């Protein structure tokens, strides 16, 4: 019997060699493909059948997420009406190891009538589809990692990597950055970190725990209990934030004063509390809380304002999933 570890090592070695052989083939057609797509006013339409189709779906997804609008078109469905999804401004990216995929060949007359430019990821450079491409990228492999040289293995890996190379080359030409990426991934952690602001998470209006500076400590405790955020902002006559009282401040006051209910908020509050603005990233507010060992911070409209419009708690940030 064969050794599974040795078998796996052989597969990986074969596929690594197939990838290394792609590098010398990066020629003028690759650069031309990048320039064509950059100047394209439409989208990149990726098509392929079988394993090439699976790889095509991933390439289309990678292109879309890195700044190049793209989608996958199944060539069999294209023959029955889905060609209507294509416009003359688009570019077609064909994936075919053999270059003789019948389902793709059948849609080529319609593609040509529409006037689309065609980029081909083709394994057979002398094939029917290779002859129909405006830009031809050679993704052929000497042999598959499959011991019978049948199952698409090295060839599908080579095609996938060529797709990644194209997507990243386009990304760099577009000067695509982290924020651009985040906009296209709002549900992912990176998207949340780069897009979610204090405004999105803050408590406001009736949820805001605040009291006037001349109120009683009893009323302050009732406000803290009612809002259940472990903090109360203390406002002056102008509605400006002059201090905060946390549940920790209350515990320390109990130890210091014989009867804290004879005190005023000004006696037990923390002066000059930290503040953030609503447009600040939530992850930045979290870093501020961690830096000063606090669990919440009041929100003001701008850096020169003292009137609180909201409050963000560390639990709100953690529940958002950005960490």
pLDDT confidence of residue 74: 96
**Which residues have a Cβ under 8 Å from the Cβ of 124 and sit 6 or more positions away?**
97, 98, 99, 100, 130, 140
Confidence (pLDDT) at 275: 94
With a cut of 90, say whether residue 120 has pLDDT above it. yes
CATH class of 198-320: alpha beta
pLDDT at 323 over 80: no
Same topology between domain 4-176 and domain 198-320:
no
Residue 238 structure tokens: 């102008």
Contact 45, 73 (CB under 8 A): yes
Write out the CATH class of domain 4-176: alpha beta
For residues 96 and 219, give the distance between their C-alpha atoms in angstroms, rounded to a whole number: 74
pLDDT in tens, 183-239: 777 766 677 777 889 999 999 999 999 999 999 999 999 999 999 999 999 999 999
The mean per-residue pLDDT over the stretch 227-254 comes to 94
Question: For residue 8, what are its two tokens?
Answer: 């796996």
Residue 171, pLDDT > 90, answer yes
**Dihedral sign computed on CA atoms, order 73, 78, 81, 86:** positive
What pLDDT, in 10s, does the model give residues 21-33? 999 999 999 999 9
User: Rounded mean pLDDT of the chain?
Assistant: 93
Q: What is the pLDDT of residue 220?
A: 94
- Across residues 173-178, what is the average pLDDT? 90
The mean pLDDT value for 140-153 works out to: 93
> How is the chain split into domains, by residue range?
4-176, 198-320
Residue 30 CA: distances (Å) to CA of 33, 35, 135, 167, 180: 5, 9, 7, 11, 24
Q: Give the pLDDT confidence of 60-104 residue by residue, as tens digits.
A: 999 999 999 999 999 999 999 999 999 999 999 999 999 999 999
């Amino acid at each position: 019997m064969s050794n599974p570890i040795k078998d796996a090592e052989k597969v990986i070695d074969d596929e690594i060699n197939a990838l290394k052989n792609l590098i010398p083939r990066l020629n003028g057609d690759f650069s031309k493909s990048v320039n064509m797509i950059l100047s394209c006013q439409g989208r990149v339409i990726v098509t392929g059948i079988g394993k090439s189709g699976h790889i095509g779906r991933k390439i289309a997804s990678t292109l879309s997420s890195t700044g190049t609008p793209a989608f996958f078109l199944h060539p069999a469905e294209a023959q029955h009406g889905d060609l209507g999804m294509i416009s003359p401004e688009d570019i077609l990216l064909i994936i075919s190891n053999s270059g003789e995929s019948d389902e793709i060949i059948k849609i080529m007359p319609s593609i040509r009538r529409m006037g689309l430019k065609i980029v081909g990821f083709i394994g057979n450079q002398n094939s029917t589809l290779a002859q129909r491409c405006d830009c031809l990228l050679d993704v052929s492999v000497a042999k598959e990692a499959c011991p019978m040289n049948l199952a698409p293995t090295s060839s599908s890996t080579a095609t996938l990597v060529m797709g990644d190379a194209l997507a990243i080359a386009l990304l760099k030409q577009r000067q695509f950055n982290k924020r651009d990426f985040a906009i296209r991934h709002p549900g992912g952690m990176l998207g949340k970190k780069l897009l979610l602001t204090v405004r999105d998470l803050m408590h406001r209006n009736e949820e805001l725990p605040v009291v006037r500076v001349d109120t009683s400590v009893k009323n302050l405790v009732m406000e803290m209990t009612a809002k259940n955020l472990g903090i109360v902002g203390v406002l002056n006559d102008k509605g400006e934030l002059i201090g905060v009282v946390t549940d920790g401040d209350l515990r320390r006051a109990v130890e210091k004063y014989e009867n804290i209910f004879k005190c005023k908020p000004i006696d037990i509050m923390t002066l000059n509390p930290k503040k953030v603005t609503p447009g600040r990233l939530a992850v930045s507010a979290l870093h501020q809380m961690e830096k000063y060992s606090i669990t919440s911070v009041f929100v003001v409209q701008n850096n020169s304002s003292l009137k609180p419009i909201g409050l963000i708690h560390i639990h709100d940030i953690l529940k958002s999933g950005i960490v």
